Structure 1
Amino acid sequence: MEQNAAETPSPRVAVVLFLLKDKCVLLGRRRSSVGNSTFALPGGHLEFGESFEECAARELKEETGMEINKTELLTVTNNVFLEEPKPCHYVTVFLRATLADPEQMPQNLEPEKCYGWDWYDWDNLPNPLFLPLDKMVKSGFNPFPID
């Protein structure tokens, strides 16, 4: 049975970044219809023709003003949000990076989308976490490289 394209939302691709500093990760508190007031990684929608790495660097710069070193692909998750005001489906690409300059401080350059950015110890994350990140944390995932 075919469904009308207007009735069924299409999956979208999100690219998010584990920005690591010491044993901390950068998180922002979302202002959004999806996951409002939850803590999430920096990131956003993949644009046409853009690589995952380009998307992560662009989104971080747009959201925080910070620049990163080389990124590394960590994993991909499949997330369906049925409980939100408008159901949506995201394939989320997770990358990892460190700051190009460790002295950079995050700025909140999109206050209409985020309450602010801060560094959180991986072993003491704030709550509530955004669903895709929460699922990863509960599964035991660790974004830090093994020494």
Structure 2
Amino acid sequence: METGDAIPRVAVVVFILKGNSILLGRRRSSIGNSTFALPGGHLEFGESFEECAAREVMEETGLEIEKMKLLTVTNNVFKEAPKPSHYVTVFIKAVLVDPSQAPRNMEPEKCEGWDWFDWLNLPTPLFWPLEKMVRSGFNPFSD
């Protein structure tokens, strides 16, 4: 695999829990285009995982989250992408500050829109790292 100057990056993604549902958006990206993914993005220098989670969720959905908890970390190498990439992905779970908040699509160039999906009836196709977790039996609702 030709990697050139490629270096691993850190992404923080968020399982926002509401009842038995999680928030997913359909990606518009060179990596995982048209797959359903959690809100999240790149960790910025000096940020905590929780700060990144709150910032990315606000930037992408307009939602305020709280009660954040680290769930797991995965190591994802995308060899088949137009540009090979390597992400260490930090998964956080959180709840809405106000359960009546509705997600807004704040970055329509990156996402087709956000919706709530029941954990036992997730849409397809899921973004590869999320699909891998679901198939492994991972459950964000377990403590």
Scaled to the shorter chain, the TM-score interval is over 0.9
C-alpha distance in 2 between matches for 1:145 and 1:43: 21
Is 1:84 the equivalent of 2:81? yes
Letter in 1 for 2:14: L
- How far did 1:69 drift? 1.2
1:7 Cα deviation after fit: 1.0
Per-residue deviation at 1:77?
0.1
- In the TM superposition, structure 1's runs of 4+ consecutive aligned residues that sit over 6 Å from their partners are none
Aligned residue in 1 for 2:106: 109
SS in 1 for 2:44: coil
Deviations 1:38-64 (A, max 9, x none): 000000000000000000000000001
Unpaired segments of 5 or more residues in structure 2?
A: none
- Amino acid in structure 2 at the alignment position of 1:125: L
Partner of 2:38: 41
Matched, 1:18 2:15: yes
Query: Which of 119, 123, 126 is residue 122 of structure 1 equivalent to?
Result: 119
Q: Which has the higher strand share?
A: 2
Percent sequence identity over matched residues? 73
Q: 1:95 aligns with which of 88, 92, 96?
A: 92
Q: Which has the larger radius of gyration?
A: 1
Q: Deviations over 1:41-98 (max 9, x none)?
A: 0000000000000000000000010001120000000000001100000000000000
| Aligned AA (1:45) | H
What SS class does the counterpart of residue 100 from structure 2 fall into?
A: coil
Question: Which residue, out of 35, 50, 54, partners 1:53?
Answer: 50
The answer to whether 1:62 aligns with 2:59 is: yes
Backbone CA RMSD of aligned residues: 0.9
Pick the aligned partner of 1:30 from 27, 32, 42: 27
Secondary structure in 2 aligned to 1:14? strand
**TM-score, scaled to structure 2:** 0.97
Q: How many residues align structurally?
A: 141
